[in-house]
Amino acid sequence: MIDDLPIREDLKGKTPYGAPQIDVPVRLNTNENSYALPDEVVEAIGKAVQAELRDLNRYPDRNAVALRTDLADYLGHGLTVANVWAANGSNEVQQQLLQTFGGPGRTALGFGPSYSMHPLLAQGTGTRWVGALRDPDFGINPDKAAEEIRRHDPDVVFLCSPNNPTGTALDPEVITAVLGAAKGIVLVDEAYFEFARPGTPSALTLLGRHRRLVVTRTMSKAFGFAGGRLGYFAADPDVVDAVQLVRLPYHLSSLTQAAARAALAQRTALLATVDAIKQQRDRIVSTLRERGLRVADSDANFVLFEVGGDQKGDQKDQKEVWQRMLDRGVLIRDVGLQGWLRVTAGTPAETDAFLEAMA
């Protein structure tokens, strides 16, 4: 047992983060893009990676300048290479931010239920975690959020929009209120932003006015690039420079950089599936509500729904329902929220299978 080893006391008894990886006909538990990459994108990525193979004896560009330039171009909002940093998934980006602005003797605060990796990243970097709560409808009241910030005075604040696992997008007033109250870094996790409904503003619009605001994104979801492992953030150039103090040398391989740049160049083809996924998300929401279930509003590629109970209104154990769905060949996610389960919006056929199994 690892607890017999001289590991840190705060890690004893813990288990690694990870969703079940089970071979089933319908896998809708990790918010992946269900659509395979189009042939033209596969060909473009293949050529880009092939071009790098001859020089694998050399280290990659440790600053990933070309990739960051392409990411800035994709984000727009007047951003340049100086505003963007990239790493192996948005989890590594957020870990680097905590290594830089958190750490022993410092505090990070988030509003739950939210992405379960945030407190784990805080623990891994020796940062004390404070868990504030969202409202019953999974929103965040701006005044209450500012009050929590003033009470705990965190060094890093985590906001998630659209929020995982609820799918809730934040009102810009919430971000503004938190920025006004926080003395430290305010990190807005926008991993699912490409799936937001029209008119939903991004925190990127606030970057020019707030030096301590950081917006993190990923190519894992809308781009269907989960296996490529590419996350990034946009922030003031000084924040980008500060993160260089903790980044590992040559952390992004030449192959990762080449594949990500090729994918960005093919973004029209890759993002063509976003509208189709949003249609299935909205279909899941409306169908489950028609069946009498409580469902959270979603601006992401997943749906959080409450498990129905008996005539007395008692909730069923979500673990029981999760297992019954798995028995029917449909893998969804138990996020540990009592009485609720989460399902990824996939292809029409996958949605059919999910709704049929739920029935």
- 320, burial (CB in 10 Å: exposed 0-12, middle 13-18, buried 19+): exposed
Q: For strand 213-218 and strand 185-189, is the pairing parallel, antiparallel, or unpaired?
A: parallel
Segments in the chain below pLDDT 70: 308-316
Residue 338 sits at φ, ψ, to 5 deg, of: -55, 120
The C-alpha atoms of residue 327 and residue 346 are separated, in whole angstroms, by 19
Distance CA 173, CA 335 (A): 28
Q: How far apart are CA 343 and CA 351, in angstroms?
A: 9
User: Residue 313: what pLDDT?
Assistant: 46
Query: What is the distance between the alpha carbons of residues 211 and 65, in angstroms, rounded to a whole number?
Result: 22
Domains contained in the chain, CATH given: 2-37+272-358 (3.90.1150.10), 39-269 (3.40.640.10)
Residues 6+ apart with CB under 8 A from 259: 45, 48, 49, 225, 228
The per-residue pLDDT for 315 is: 53
CA of 347: how far to CAs of 154, 247, 283, in Å? 41, 38, 11
Contact 118, 127 (CB under 8 A): no
